[in-house]
Amino acid sequence: MAMEVELEPMAASIGVTVPVLRFLLCFAATIPLSFLWRIVPGRLPKHLYSAGVGVSLSYISFGLSSNMHFSVLIMIGYSSMLLFRPRCGILTFFLGFGYLIGCHVYYMSGDVWKDGGIDDTGALMVLTLKIISCLFNYNDGLLKEEEGLREAQRKYRLTKLPSLVEYIGYCLCCGSHFAGPVFEMKDYLDWTEGKGIWSKEAKGPSPSPYGATIRALIQAGFCMALYLYLVPYFPLSRFTEPIYQEWGFWKKFGYQYMSGFTARWKYYFIWSVSEASIIISGLGFSGWVNSSPPKPRWDRAKNVDILGVEFAKSSVMIPTVWNIQVSTWLRHYVYERLVQSGKKPRFFQLLATQTISAIWHGVYPGYIIFFVQSALMIAGSRAIYRWQQVTAPSMANAFVFLNFAYTLVVINYSSVGFLVLNLHETLAVFGSVYYIGTILPILMILLGNVIKPRRPGRSKAQKEQ
């Protein structure tokens, strides 16, 4: 209670609630605490430090209930590895998502977030993905190389059961469960034990994280400053005000674009801070660039490519530049595992993956609508790309611009559902611009099936090869 009173003036000065300020302070603390991990001696102390910091920050941010929720998920996962290894991955997938959905329904966190509050469901979301990936990889450890393993399965599979301390350290590592990024147990163990790219025998000297950390922090400061500047001009509440209904089509559409654009900078800020935390710990290191002299890469820490999002040439690129590590998780543990061996992925796999992503975010209609829309958006973009591949070089740039404009229109239209969440409000806003962002993808998909691009013919020499 004393802490609440002390934080009230600071919270009021920056326009947030005390719970949000408490979370932000703990979130910022992950950076120096992750740095201190580097000087902790020995493997076991490092695992204990990772777990202890995660538990402490969770308690300060969200209270005792958060660690109780985390403990349930953590023990579901570890018990499954101990007792049901041949099916532990799929078992924990359903149990973990079931528990997460129950928490989503109980807390209805979307309403809390819209009202300026915060709870532990965001951290629970990240933790769910980390646990499921660990168990699938332990499950894959039973498979043999000749059984047609995908590249990710070969790279991350676990042949040995992690100890409970290693497992908890991985789950709560220095507060990385607050906002990600999601990373693999194999990488966490190699990092802690000084193996793989973190070994002394690996190529190049030990990389310095400080330049990359400073860059991420500067990026975070810019993102937050821009968000705080824009948000008073483009509040979500405007969608339900009478003045919005008085506007013409283009002004409504422009406001939808600016609302989505504004909201994205908040996520850019959060992911930039988490990136700085993972980089300074050393875990974000992902190898060396082949240059002279060699430069370190920090891709493991990266969750967003801001310019890649804002200037995406096609909708297919969005999952590779937005919430990158979660998109990678969805590809490895949902999309690829739904594709039968020897067969090509279809729209079903894409739709199922986007539906899982929607459920992971919460049970609000707006999430479901957004991710179903995104599946349609990607499918429509693929149709445009197929036409681009077979068109004359003089027309190729026109299709590139068409795909860019299509992506810009549909992603900002669709993001309204993600932001307002309510079914009636989402449909009302969509209807105010005549459902243009829903009609366009469907139209592209239908045209793609009717006007099928002819594959370029092969030369006689190619046929004879």
Active site residue 361: yes
| Nearest to 123, CA basis, from 131, 135, 134 | 131
Helix axes of 18-37 and 2-14: crossing angle, nearest 10 degrees: 100
Q: Which residues of 356-380 are buried (b: 16+ CB within 10 A; e: fewer)?
A: bbbbbbbbbbbbbbbbbbbbbbbbb
Across 234-272, b (16+ Cβ under 10 Å) vs e yields: bebeebeeeebeeeeeeebbebbbebbebbbbbbbbbbb
Q: Is 69:131 a contact under the CB 8 Å cutoff?
A: no
> Strands 295-297 and 287-289: what pairing?
antiparallel
Q: Which of 69, 104, 177, 361 is catalytic?
A: 361
User: Which H or E run includes 252?
Assistant: helix 249-281
Contact 32, 278 (CB under 8 A): no
Q: Are 18 and 7 in contact (CB under 8 A)?
A: yes
Peptide bond into 319 cis (omega under 30): no
User: Looking at the annotation, which residues are catalytic?
Assistant: 361
